[in-house]
Structure 1
Amino acid sequence: MKSYLTRPQVRKNVSWLLFFVLLLLSSWLSISCGGKKQPAADSRTQVATKIPDRLPVRIADGTNKEVLVMTLGDIKTPLADGTFYPVEDRIVLNNGQEINDYFKTKLGIKFYRPLDKSIFPLPPSGWCTWYYYYGEVNQEEVEKNAVWLARNLKDYGLKYCQLDDGWQGRSLGSPVDYRDWSNVNQRFSKGLDSLARFIKGQGLVPGLWLAPHGQSNEEVVKASRAFLLTPDGQSPSSTWEGKFLLDPSKPEALSYLTELFTKLSADWGFEYFKIDGQPIVVDEYRQKQQFMASPGDPEQLYRRTLETIRQAIGPNRFLLCCWGTPLEGAGIFNGSRTGGDIVPAWEGFQVAAEATMKYYFLHNIVWYSDPDVMLVRYPLTQDMARAWASLQGLTGQALMASDRMYDLPADRVEILKRVYPAVDIRPLDLFPASRFKKIWDLKINHLGRQYDVVGCFNYDQTQSQGLEVKWADLGLEDNARYHIYDFWNKDYLGCVEKGIYVTIPPAGVRVLTLVKDNGQPQLISTSRHITQGWVDLESLAYEPENRVVRGRSRVIKGDPYELRFAFPRNERYLRIRRVEAPGYNFSLENHDGWATVTLSSQSNDTVSWEVYFEAGDVYNYPARTPAGLKAEIRSLNKVRLDWQPLYYLNAGYFIYLNGQPYLYTPVNCGELSGLNPDEDYLVEVKGAWLDGSTSEKAASLQLRLSTALPAEVYLSDLEPQYLVSDWGSPRMNRSAAGTQLKIGDRTYRSGIGTNARSEAVFDLGGIFKTFESEVGLDAASGGQGSVELKLFGDTKLLWKSELVKGRAPARKVRVKISGVKELRLVVEDGGDGPRSDLADWAEARVRK
């Protein structure tokens, strides 16, 4: 077609066209961005693909040994002992001292090298079949769960759908009989390649479990010529790993692994591999050298098998080792389990907590640590489910659910949504912990917001517990005011100095967010994730002249997104005047001293929002004086305080020690710790109001621990400094099995029931002269087991038993302990394993 436009006319029309395009683009940007110029996305949205060149580090506990510290973002804290340089494996302490080869020599990680995050910048977040279906899994159930995961948790960051044990040819009998990776169980008649395609079709990544070093099919063993054999053709290594074990010194073994993993990855389509029983493999290679074709260093031979697997699957597929902690695979594995198998009960949570205490120092530095899966289903209570989710969310370890997902009630799904995905958290504490720590402090620096998310754990299933959370113990400013927000209970607890006394339900957790009061309206929490801003908040700014907070947040369709604001303690009268979030529904609520805005979206989107504040009304109530103050001695440096609850309205209480503020408590009880038993103390309690005002008068008492104690004290009436066991849970006045204490034919009302190996440590303050007890194996051992008991005073061995076995009657112990400040009761395994080693320190007591 011929054009009738002259060149000037063409230029003129092009100019008008360009003008309208720019006008439309400008209008679109104005609508989508709320009419405001948006800042560039924060660099945090670009996930770190390498470990920082330097990291803050603690190499030992601080004053409060109950504190475990994690970091997220660029953290600076006075708790740090120095700086760790991961590439050099070197620590420079604050005093200038250097520690070279820290992981290799101090922590015993022989093959240490920094985690390569270039392909997997974050720990895996997904689902595993094992802890619901165990070996009785089938394709239909996996597919149902995959569909549910894609619909309900994929938007929250869940990525992996992993098939565990039970897919292979045979699933009956003992494990040694069904380690055949050449056949697929008839329950997967469509083939595992079909399952992998189905999972990918849901937008998820398929994962697969196996124990590749073992084999139970004798035909495969004969054909491959890759396994350890005795001269007469028998297996010298029949273990959980399989009836036969690969000979790592044979080229045929490496060819076997290459062929196997090429089939599983390239042919079947799996992209995540969990290889099990690895510590067994290493131990067998150490012990079965004589059956190898070419014996060599067992650890290097083992690593050669891992490198072969890695070459077969390539760098873009995730490799997780399992069952125990095979440190010999460091530098090859992307991740590793760090403990035993969990169970669907509180004891399962404790398995995960123990793995975290022992090996969290490896996480996000050597590999992504995996304390095993998280369960939230019944019979776990909601408090237990929250505690398990908090363990995962606050540490950033590998996050795998393992319930029948489409059966979960809404309240349990809600818990899962608040911890997916695992984020880039790593330890400040580069050392193993010898106790179940109760205060887990995650320090976060994001968009100029520096705040702490603190998990307060109660490991006791039988009773609630109180816990002192002191700002100084967390490296915060002792006399500064901090806003406190209760994440799981969605409640603002106030703004106080010094710290807070927290009550925790049995087998439960309280997660508190601490934000320093800066004298302005502050965003103190968001609802999307337990990190409260890290995964959702893209920008944040406050304009004091207009009293407006502006931000930009990523939201998930159908998930109400809540912004929580707190006001300065001396400006509690503030309130939200209006909210702007063009194109989105919102609601707001004003409370005394804080407020919330809830945004909702019908799609996954990024929302620009503005919240305007103004002066409002405020209600004050005069603080009243409490009465009936009492002190109960819990140990030689700690007392519990109780008083009558105030009849009148109040916002809690402030505790004072020798005239100085000590701690805030929202309830009519509290604790004092770190006391000297030979000093006199004046203890006072005043009623408090939201503005920090207190009653004019106080309930008070005088206290001196050494004189308040009776002449004889049972250790079960004192709170130990710590009480830990490698197997089971020690208990006061019950056996470790939960039964009445019984040694031989005699039962006891008081004492400490433990299991090997265990330690119970008490602070005695040097004021007692004698220790007495009756010791032995508890009747719940069933006449089995053997133990050795030891008593230490200030690290010195004071007494030890002979080997205690079977149903022997109790042995009486009487030991002089004059001047002993720390008394340690130890139970060790007698050499036959810890499972039946239920030992009792019956009627354990000290005398002045």
Structure 2
Amino acid sequence: MRHLPARTTRRRVVGSLAAALLCAAGLAAPAAARDTAGRTAAGPSPTHPAEGGRAATAPVAPGPATKVPDGLALTPPMGFNNWNSTHCRAEFDEAMVKGIADLFVEKGLKEAGYQYVNLDDCWALPERDANGKLVPDPVRFPGGIKAVADYVHAKGLKLGIYTSAGTKTCNSAGFPGALGHERSDARQFADWGVDYLKYDNCNNQGVDARQRYTAMRDALEATGRPIVYSICEWGENKPWEWAADVGHLWRTTGDISDSWGSMLSIMKRNLPLAPYAGPGRWNDPDMLEVGNGGMTDTEYRTHFSLWSIMAAPLLIGSDLRKASPRTFEILGNEEVIAVDQDPLGRQGSVVSSEGGRWVVAKQMKDGSRAVALFNETGSAQSVATTAKAVGLPGADAYTLRDLWQHKSYHTAGRIAATVPAHGTVLLRVSADDKWSHHPPATELALKGGLFVEAGTSAKVTSEVTNLGRTAAQRVTVALGAPAGWAVRATSPSTAAALPTGRTLATTWTVTAPAGTRPGAYDLALKATYRSPQGARAEKELPLTAQVVLAPPAGTSSLGDLPWLSATNGWGPVERDTSNGDSGAGDGRPITIGGTVYAKGLGVHAESTVEYYTGGACEKVTAQVGVDDETIVKGTVAFEIWADGRKAASTGVLTNAMPAQELSADVSGAQTVRLVATDGGDGIDSDHGDWAQASLSC
């Protein structure tokens, strides 16, 4: 599924003559024709679900019969695809593809399991030759595709290619698609030495999806060459229900973009489909964005962790020639990759998700469980479960391996961590007799948000809790802060022993120097202790302190106040204009039901904007609705949160409805969050407005 910016949004009527004409003209068709700047005329607008709480655990129909074995994709495919980093730009060429293959070998990615180097759209000329054959672009690929395949194969790797199950591909230039040419194109791919085909969904002329995708399956099989077959019809026809005997993997969602909101929404859509996945038949939530720059390293680790626990294909979407050491570190984590590549082939399932605190567990072939503790929210949260809840048998204690820290502990049964905002702790937990070789696991926590007004002391409480079967001994805790800050413990920060389930609580005063500029500052809570056998253990919790300004007295427009954080599903949150398109400052006057508002916030679901209120404010009021720039569908629900409490909410609003007043009592709250969800039906240009949003203090 592909979505366009507000000015060009229209419902997809894939297969219509109008769609074909639009694509040929280089305009944005409902199937979202791509150009050299991205998947649509202004890049991909994300597609989101709104599955809060436990929605993601809703029952799912049993999966399809096991795929007829052909020995392909017995674990999720791993490799590279150029689209997310290059789109159709000139830098996508033979040199790039060979360079990626070289780096797979040089950087150890091949050894870690990555094997496919895949070409996306724009590799061909816009017209077939006189014999109806596809012609590689001689500028991009002067040696042809076979020469590239030979180079990749010589590295012990495999080559993938792209086309569409329509008359044209998805790019606005209109490269030839394979509809009606399946046998000929498949033969060319096989003759070139192609090992993987991504088969898109644009310009399909209304032909039934099963028919189109089955035709290419038969054509590929007729070549006699083993080719992994990736069905990319964006989940429109629920391929998980019928494609297990057609392809090896199928897209479950629209295109991903390099943003937190896009990644999060795609995860929520893909998670409930766990029963359909297995060896040779994988749910595909789209390619990785790790390293492309739109998310933080913490968010990229979450992205990689969640794709791995969902047994998703791991197709690198960043240009590795420009990648940072941190990107290679994330993509090359073999302990995390082992979760994705486990031969049992189970996709992780949701154990709980209340309040944005997610527990996802995956059964592994050796009987252990991979467990992701994921914090969707914008502040550190304790995320917890138990060995029993994730399906492990009863035992005296369990070995708990932290796959990002590469450290092992033991637990009496509780699995818990305080997880930073947008972070994930990925664990592998097993019931074995080796648990006693490891020190007890502990959970570090900081109670209450750390908000500091410059020159004024803030009080916080740290906690170190022993989760292990044996006591933690010689426990010491320290709170680190930036240079020049004053940090002082006002209660004991050591304990001779901490028995199972007991907590060392320490109160602290934290003072930022007068004149410290508002913003986020890094702190760290660190605990050291020993096991009864004398083994030393160390745990560290990265934290963020916000230096804030006291909220102004009286009533203020929220569009005029600084926020603590803002996430948005498409482009940035805009002040006093609509969400507009993908860039900052490209919004238009806020307009709901024909009424124009001078002040407010323009957002795109899923969106969260958080403000510091410091316990000094009483009320938030706004006129909310779907902006008139959403000309087709648009469904948004609005919520106001006071700390961890939902203080007010609307039902689902559409672009056919006038603005509704939404107000909430936020008395005593340290923070207020304005949340816009997609109303539960996925994103289709869900541009929402917080018109005349005000805060009274």
Report if TM-score (shorter chain) is over 0.5. yes
The interval holding the TM-score normalised by the smaller chain is 0.5 to 0.7
Aligned pair partner of 1:403 in 298, 301, 318: 318
CA distance in structure 2 between the partners assigned to 1:734 and 1:494 by the alignment: 52
CA distance in structure 2 between the partners assigned to 1:66 and 1:382 by the alignment: 28
The answer to whether 1:835 aligns with 2:685 is yes
Greater shift, 834-843 or 191-200, is seen at 834-843
Query: Which residue pairs with 1:457 in the alignment?
Result: 374
**Distance change in 2, residues 1:245/1:495 (3 Å):** closer
- TM-fit CA distance, 1:837: 2.9
Query: Which residue pairs with 2:360 in the alignment?
Result: 440
CA distance in structure 2 between the partners assigned to 1:452 and 1:667 by the alignment: 33
TM-score, structure 1 normalization: 0.48
Secondary structure at 2:363's aligned position in 1? strand
The answer to whether 1:423 aligns with 2:342 is yes
| Paired residues of 1:487 and 1:512 also in contact (CA < 8 A) | yes
- TM-fit CA distance, 1:260: 1.6
The answer to whether 1:504 aligns with 2:352 is no
Aligned pair partner of 1:647 in 465, 468, 492: 492
Q: How many pairs are equivalent?
A: 502
Q: How does 1:802-821 map to 2 (within 5 A)?
A: 804=655, 810-812=659-661
Aligned pair partner of 1:277 in 167, 179, 201: 201
Gaps in structure 1 of 5+ consecutive residues: 1-63, 69-80, 82-101, 172-178, 217-237, 248-252, 287-297, 526-566, 573-592, 594-618, 624-642, 656-660, 670-686, 693-715, 717-724, 760-770, 793-797, 816-823
The answer to whether 1:169 aligns with 2:125 is yes
TM-score, structure 2 normalization: 0.58
CA distance in structure 2 between the partners assigned to 1:154 and 1:162 by the alignment: 14
**Distance change in 2, residues 1:413/1:429 (3 Å):** closer
Q: How does 1:581-596 map to 2 (within 5 A)?
A: none
Secondary structure at 2:121's aligned position in 1? coil
Calculate percent identity across the aligned residue pairs: 15
Secondary structure at 1:441's aligned position in 2? strand
CA distance in structure 1 between the partners assigned to 2:348 and 2:360 by the alignment: 11
**Distance change in 2, residues 1:784/1:406 (3 Å):** same
The answer to whether 1:214 aligns with 2:167 is yes
- TM-fit CA distance, 1:333: 0.7
Q: How does 1:193-342 map to 2 (within 5 A)?
A: 193-215=146-168, 242=174, 253=180, 256-265=181-190, 267-277=191-201, 281=204, 284-285=205-206, 298=208, 301-314=211-224, 316-325=226-235, 326=237, 327=239, 329-342=243-256
Query: Which residue pairs with 2:100 in the alignment?
Result: 145
**Distance change in 2, residues 1:492/1:466 (3 Å):** same
CA distance in structure 2 between the partners assigned to 1:392 and 1:802 by the alignment: 32
Secondary structure at 1:207's aligned position in 2? strand
| Paired residues of 2:217 and 2:229 also in contact (CA < 8 A) | no
CA distance in structure 1 between the partners assigned to 2:245 and 2:192 by the alignment: 26
Query: Which residue pairs with 2:71 in the alignment?
Result: 119
Secondary structure at 1:184's aligned position in 2? coil
1:738-764, Cα deviation, whole Å (9 max, x unpaired): 999988537579xxx9756999xxxxx
Q: How does 1:5-44 map to 2 (within 5 A)?
A: none
Query: Which residue pairs with 2:37 in the alignment?
Result: none
CA distance in structure 1 between the partners assigned to 2:356 and 2:68 by the alignment: 30
1:522-581, Cα deviation, whole Å (9 max, x unpaired): 5899xxxxxxxxxxxxxxxxxxxxxxxxxxxxxxxxxxxxxxxxx9955x8xxxxxxxxx
Query: Which residue pairs with 1:776 in the alignment?
Result: 624
Relative contact order (C-alpha < 8 Å, sep 6+): which is higher? Answer: 2
- TM-fit CA distance, 1:350: 2.4
Gaps in structure 2 of 5+ consecutive residues: 1-52, 441-466, 478-487, 509-526, 533-557, 559-566, 609-618, 640-648, 665-674
Q: Which amino acid aligns with 2:428?
A: T
**Distance change in 2, residues 1:117/1:653 (3 Å):** farther
**Distance change in 2, residues 1:139/1:757 (3 Å):** closer
Q: Which amino acid aligns with 2:124?
A: Q
Q: Which amino acid aligns with 1:441?
A: A
Secondary structure at 1:426's aligned position in 2? coil
The answer to whether 1:412 aligns with 2:327 is yes
Aligned pair partner of 1:469 in 372, 385, 400: 385
Q: Which amino acid aligns with 1:165?
A: D
CA distance in structure 1 between the partners assigned to 2:687 and 2:401 by the alignment: 43
1:759-802, Cα deviation, whole Å (9 max, x unpaired): 9xxxxxxxxxxx997543367x768676567899xxxxx99788
Q: Which amino acid aligns with 1:404?
A: D
**Distance change in 2, residues 1:411/1:300 (3 Å):** closer
| Paired residues of 1:517 and 1:568 also in contact (CA < 8 A) | no
Q: Which amino acid aligns with 2:370?
A: V
CA distance in structure 2 between the partners assigned to 1:386 and 1:734 by the alignment: 34
**Distance change in 2, residues 1:351/1:519 (3 Å):** closer
CA distance in structure 1 between the partners assigned to 2:185 and 2:691 by the alignment: 53
- TM-fit CA distance, 1:277: 1.7
Aligned pair partner of 1:362 in 276, 286, 289: 276
RMSD: 5.5
Query: Which residue pairs with 1:90 in the alignment?
Result: none
Q: Which amino acid aligns with 1:474?
A: V
Q: Which amino acid aligns with 2:342?
A: V
- TM-fit CA distance, 1:510: 1.3
Q: How does 1:691-710 map to 2 (within 5 A)?
A: none
